[in-house]
C-alpha cells in the first residue's frame, strides 16, 4: 500500500486515503472527582501507561492533555526492536510490521576525494540490529503508534478515553493521608477549555499521579524535581518531506557528512515516498534558543540542498518540520521520594518520558525510551493498587529507569559529536577525527542499547542476583526475555515463546525440563510439578485468590526436551490446568524444542539439570533457579507479594 503518493494523509493506514479522517474526540468524557491513577500527557509514555492500566477493570484511570485531540503527524518515527516486543504484548505488532518501513540497510557518505565539495557513498551495510530480536527495527509515524495505543484503550473493558482540552494547573500532596494506601493524597487542579473558549478549574483526587507531560513538565515542576545536564549549543532542523531527487539512497537510512555544509541523517518513512531529514544548522550563542532563530522551511531546504551536492533535491510537500537545539538532561529523581524520606517509604508521584530525560532525536530513542519507562511502571502500579504487591516495588521504577536514562544521555552526547560536521574548527563538541567509519563503529558497538534489547536492570526487590545464571546463559537476569520458537505439544504448532508474555500484569515462570523423563515420579520435573500444585508454600497456591484461575497471578509454561514417547495424556495434571466457569482444560501450556532451532542450544540452557526462568510482567527476567529450588522460589516471591 502506497500511503503518501499524492501527499501526506494522517490517520488509520488500514483505510484508503480518501476515507481517512481524524479520530473523533469524545465530548462526553468528563474529569472524575477521584481516580486511582491520574496521567498527565497523551504522548507515548502517557498512552503506554494508560493502555496498561486499561487492562484492569478494577483500576480507575484518567488521562488528560491540553491539546484538542490526538496527534496527527510528526515528531518521533523510529520503532526499536524492544518497542516492537512491547507492542506484541499489546497484540499490536502485526499492524506495525505491515505498515512500517523496515530499516534493513545503512549507507555512509563522505566528501569525495579530489572533489570534496561533492559527496560520495563510502559503504552500504546491513543494519546491525538485525538478529537481536525476532522483530526488526522499523519506522512508523509516532501518531500511528498513538492510534494503536488509543485503540487498545478504547477497546478495553473500561473503554478508557483521554480527556483533551484540559491543562494541569497545580499538584499538591497531602502528607496526612500519604501512607494510607486506600486514600487519595494527590490533589490536582485542572483547567478545562470548552468549545466556547470558557475556562473552568476542577479538582481531582488520585492515589497516584504520573507526569508524562514533556520536557517542560508541570508535574515535575510541582514536585520540585530538578533537571541535571546542559546544552551543546547546537541547532538542528528536521522535516518530513515528499521529495524528487536523483540521490540514489533516498530509500535507505543514510549518514551524510559534507566538507563544509554540515551533516544530514536520512530516515526513509513508511509508504514508499515520505522521507525524514535531520539537517545540521548553525552554532547557537550561549543561552540562545533555536526557537528564537527564526529559521524557516526555506532555510532548512536550502541547507539540505547544499549538503546533498552534487545531487539535486526538490521538496514537494512538508507535512511537519521543526528546529531544535540539542540538550542532554536527566531528572534528579523519577518520583517524589527524596533521600531524606524515611526508610520503607514509597512514591505517590512519578514522571516519565521527556519529563525526566531530554536528548537529541537522531539516535531514535525518544519515543522508545518513553514507552519503556511506563511499561516498567504500569504493572507495578497495578500490582500495588490491586493489593498483590507491597508498595515498595514502586521504588524500583526510578532506580531502574533513571540508570537507563543516564546511559542514554552518555550515548547521545557521544553520538552528537560523531554526526556533527559543520564548521568543525569552531565547534568544540565535534570530534575532528570522526568520520562515517567512526559513526558506523560506534553505532555497531551500541546497537544492543539502541535496539533496547541489552537494557539490564540491577538486583532489587523484584530482580534477583545472578546466582544461577550458568543454568541458562542465554537468558540474562535483569534483561528482557529473549524469545525463541518452540513447538506446542498438544497440536504441533510452532510459535514464539516470548509472545506468551502479554501485558496483563501476570508473572510467568518458564520451566525448562531436565534430561530425565518428566513422567518418572523421581524426576526433578515431576517433583516440581507436585510442589507447585500441592504445597501450601508454593507461590501458586499462596498468591492466587480463592476462586480465581490457577494462572491468574503467576502463569506457568513448561518446555520438555524431545521424547518420542511423550504425549499429552502422559502429562502431570498441573500442566493441563482447568480454568473458567466450565473448568475446561488449558492445553496450551506445554512445549518442546524445535529440532533444527533448539531453544536449549540457542539460549545455552543446561540440558542435564534444566531450570526455572522467572519473568516479570514487563518481560524482564527476574530470576533463574534450579528445578529443585523450592525455597529460593518461595523466598523471592515472599519478598514483595502479598498473601490474600
Q: List the catalytic residue out of 36, 65, 77, 551.
A: 77
Residue whose C-alpha is closest to residue 465's, from 473, 476, 453: 476
What's the rounded Cα separation, in Å, for the pair 243 and 614?
50
- Residues 232 and 419: their CA atoms lie apart, in Å, by 13
C-beta separation of 211 from 170 below 8 A: no
Whether the bond into 310 is cis, omega within 30 of 0: yes
Report the C-alpha dihedral over residues 56, 62, 63, 68, rounded to 10 degrees: 130
Residue 57 is a catalytic residue? no
Q: Catalytic residue among 10, 111, 347, 361, which?
A: 361
Comparing CA positions, the residue from 317, 321, 301, 244 lying closest to residue 8 is 317
Per the annotation, the verdict on 77 as an active-site residue is: yes
Assigned C-alpha cell, 623: 530470576
Among the listed residues 196, 147, 206, 201, the one whose alpha carbon sits nearest the alpha carbon of residue 27? 196
Asked about 278 being catalytic, the answer comes back as yes
Marked catalytic residue, from 90, 278, 557, 600: 278
Q: At what angle do helices 366-385 and 81-89 cross, to 10 degrees?
A: 30
The residue from 82, 269, 402, 603 that is catalytic is: 269
Q: Rounded to 10 degrees, what is the CA torsion of 413, 240, 290, 325?
A: -10
CB 240 within 8 A of CB 114: no
Report the C-alpha gap between 381 and 53 in whole angstroms.
Answer: 8
CB 143 within 8 A of CB 507: no
Q: How far is CA 388 from CA 356, 554, 620, 641, in A?
A: 28, 11, 19, 6
CA-based angle 328:394:351, to the nearest 5? 35
Residue 401 annotated to the active site: no
Q: Which three cell numbers stand for residue 98?
A: 505491515
Strands (E), 113-212: 115-126, 138-139, 166-173, 186-193, 199-211
Q: Using N-to-C axis directions, what is the helix angle for 366-385 and 395-419, rounded to 10°?
A: 180
* Helices and strands, number each (H, E), in the chain: 14, 26
If you compute the radius of gyration of the chain from its CA atoms, what whole number of angstroms results?
Answer: 26
Contact 224, 217 (CB under 8 A): no
Dmax of the chain from CA atoms? 79
Residue 559: C-alpha distances to residues 116, 306, 553, 562 (Å) = 59, 58, 20, 9
Core vs surface per residue 465-499: b (16+ CB within 10 A) or e? eeebbebbeebbbbbbbbbbbbbbbbeeeeeebbe
Cite the active site residues.
Answer: 77, 269, 278, 361
Amino acid at each position: 500500500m502506497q500511503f503518501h503518493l499524492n501527499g501526506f494523509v494522517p490517520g488509520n493506514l488500514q483505510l484508503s486515503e480518501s476515507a481517512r479522517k481524524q479520530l473523533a474526540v469524545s465530548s462526553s468524557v468528563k474529569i472524575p472527582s477521584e481516580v486511582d491513577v491520574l496521567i498527565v500527557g497523551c504522548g507515548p509514555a502517557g498512552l503506554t501507561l494508560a493502555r496498561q492500566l486499561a487492562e484492569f477493570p478494577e483500576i480507575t484511570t484518567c488521562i488528560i492533555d491540553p491539546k484538542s485531540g490526538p496527534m496527527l503527524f510528526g515528531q518521533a518515527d523510529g520503532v526499536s526492536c524492544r518497542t516492537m516486543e512491547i507492542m506484541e504484548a499489546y497484540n499490536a505488532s502485526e499492524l506495525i510490521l505491515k505498515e512500517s518501513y523496515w530499516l534493513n540497510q545503512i549507507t555512509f557518505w563522505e566528501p569525495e576525494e579530489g572533489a570534496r565539495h561533492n559527496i560520495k557513498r563510502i559503504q552500504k551495510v546491513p543494519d546491525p540490529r538485525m538478529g537481536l530480536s525476532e522483530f526488526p527495527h522499523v519506522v512508523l509515524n509516532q501518531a500511528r503508534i498513538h492510534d494503536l495505543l488509543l485503540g487498545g484503550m478504547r477497546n478495553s473493558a473500561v473503554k478508557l478515553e483521554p480527556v483533551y482540552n484540559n491543562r494541569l494547573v497545580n499538584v499538591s500532596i497531602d502528607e496526612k493521608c500519604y501512607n494510607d494506601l486506600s486514600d487519595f493524597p494527590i490533589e490536582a487542579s485542572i483547567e478545562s477549555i470548552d468549545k466556547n473558549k470558557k475556562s473552568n478549574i476542577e479538582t481531582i483526587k488520585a492515589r497516584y499521579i504520573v507526569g508524562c507531560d514533556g520536557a517542560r513538565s508541570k508535574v515535575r515542576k510541582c514536585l520540585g524535581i530538578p533537571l541535571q545536564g546542559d546544552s551543546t549549543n547546537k541547532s538542528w532542523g528536521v522535516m518530513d518531506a515528499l521529495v524528487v531527487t536523483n540521490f540514489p539512497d533516498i530509500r535507505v537510512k543514510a549518514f551524510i557528512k559534507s566538507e563544509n555544509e554540515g551533516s544530514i541523517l536520512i530516515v526513509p518513512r513508511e509508504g514508499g515516498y515520505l522521507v525524514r531529514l535531520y539537517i545540521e544548522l548553525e552554532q547557537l550563542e550561549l543561552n540562545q534558543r533555536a526557537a528564537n532563530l527564526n529559521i524557516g522551511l526555506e532555510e532548512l531546504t536550502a541547507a539540505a540542498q547544499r549538503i546533498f551536492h552534487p545531487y539535486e533535491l526538490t521538496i514537494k510537500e512538508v507535512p511537519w518540520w521543526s528546529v531544535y537545539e540539542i540538550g542532554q538532561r536527566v531528572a534528579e529523581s523519577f518520583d517524589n521520594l527524596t533521600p531524606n524520606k524515611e526508610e520503607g517509604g514509597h512514591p505517590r508521584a512519578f514522571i516519565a518520558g521527556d519529563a525526566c530525560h531530554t536528548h537529541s532525536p537522531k539516535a531514535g530513542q525518544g519515543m522508545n525510551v518513553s514507552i519503556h519507562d511506563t511499561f516498567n511502571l504500569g504493572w507495578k502500579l497495578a500490582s500495588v493498587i490491586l493489593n498483590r504487591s507491597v508498595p515498595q516495588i514502586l521504588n524500583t521504577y526510578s532506580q531502574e529507569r533513571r540508570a537507563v536514562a543516564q546511559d542514554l544521555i552518555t550515548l547521545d552526547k557521544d553520538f552528537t559529536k560523531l554526526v556533527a560536521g559543520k564548521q568543525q574548527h569552531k565547534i568544540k563538541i565535534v570530534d575532528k577525527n570522526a568520520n562515517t567509519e567512526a559513526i558506523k563503529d560506534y553505532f555497531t558497538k551500541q546497537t544492543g542499547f539502541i535496539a533496547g534489547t541489552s537494557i539490564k536492570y540491577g538486583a532489587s526487590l523484584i530482580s534477583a542476583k545472578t546466582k544461577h545464571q550458568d543454568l541458562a546463559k542465554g537468558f540474562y537476569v535483569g534483561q528482557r526475555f529473549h524469545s525463541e520458537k518452540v513447538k506446542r505439544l498438544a497440536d504441533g504448532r510452532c510459535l514464539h515463546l516470548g509472545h506468551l508474555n502479554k501485558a496483563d500484569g501476570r508473572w510467568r515462570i518458564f520451566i525448562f525440563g531436565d534430561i530425565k523423563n518428566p513422567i518418572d515420579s523421581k524426576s526433578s520435573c515431576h517433583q516440581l510439578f507436585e510442589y507447585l500444585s500441592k504445597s501450601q508454600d508454593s507461590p501458586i497456591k499462596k498468591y492466587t485468590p480463592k476462586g480465581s484461575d490457577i494462572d491468574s497471578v503467576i502463569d506457568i509454561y513448561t518446555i520438555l526436551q524431545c521424547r518420542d514417547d511423550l504425549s499429552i495424556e502422559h502429562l502431570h495434571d498441573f500442566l493441563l490446568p482447568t480454568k473458567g466457569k466450565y473448568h475446561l482444560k488449558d492445553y496450551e501450556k506445554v512445549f518442546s524444542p524445535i529440532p533444527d532451532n533448539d531453544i536449549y542450544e540457542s539460549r545455552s540452557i543446561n540440558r542435564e539439570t534444566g531450570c526455572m526462568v522467572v519473568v516479570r510482567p514487563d518481560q524482564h527476567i527476574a530470576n533463574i533457579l534450579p528445578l529443585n529450588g523450592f525455597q529460593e522460589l518461595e523466598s523471592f516471591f515472599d519478598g514483595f507479594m502479598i498473601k490474600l
